[in-house]
Amino acid sequence: MKGKMTLHYDQESDYLEIFIEDSSPTYGQEVGEDITVFRNKDTEEVVGIGILNFKKRTKSLASIQLNLPFNINFSDLKV
């Protein structure tokens, strides 16, 4: 998938969204406790992830490490 990455954090609800691409029609699928994966309705491709209780999952906001419910292979990226 190629596109811009958008991050949005809502401090009040402690919710982080990470999306790639535009705001094409998507649907969410809960894949774990407080974790939602968003897919493009037409292609079924994963285009985003939502993480509820984001701060609770990090020890320090200076160094963020998350266990994502899918694999990312950066060696497949073409620049």
Is residue 6 in a domain? yes
User: Which of 37, 40, 32, 33 has the alpha carbon at shortest distance from 48?
Assistant: 37
In angstroms, the CA 38 to CA 44 distance is 9
Is residue 33 in a domain? yes
* Tokens standing for residue 8: 């949005």
Please tell me the pTM assigned to this model. Answer: 0.70
pLDDT 10s digits, 35-44: 999 988 998 8
User: In angstroms, what CA-CA distances link 49 with 18, 63, 72?
Assistant: 5, 19, 13
In angstroms, the CA 68 to CA 31 distance is 10
Is residue 31 in a domain? yes
Least confident of 7-11, 20-24, 30-34: 20-24
Q: Say what the pLDDT of residue 52 is.
A: 94
Domain that holds residue 36: 1-52
Mean confidence (pLDDT) of the chain:
79
* Tokens standing for residue 3: 């596109």
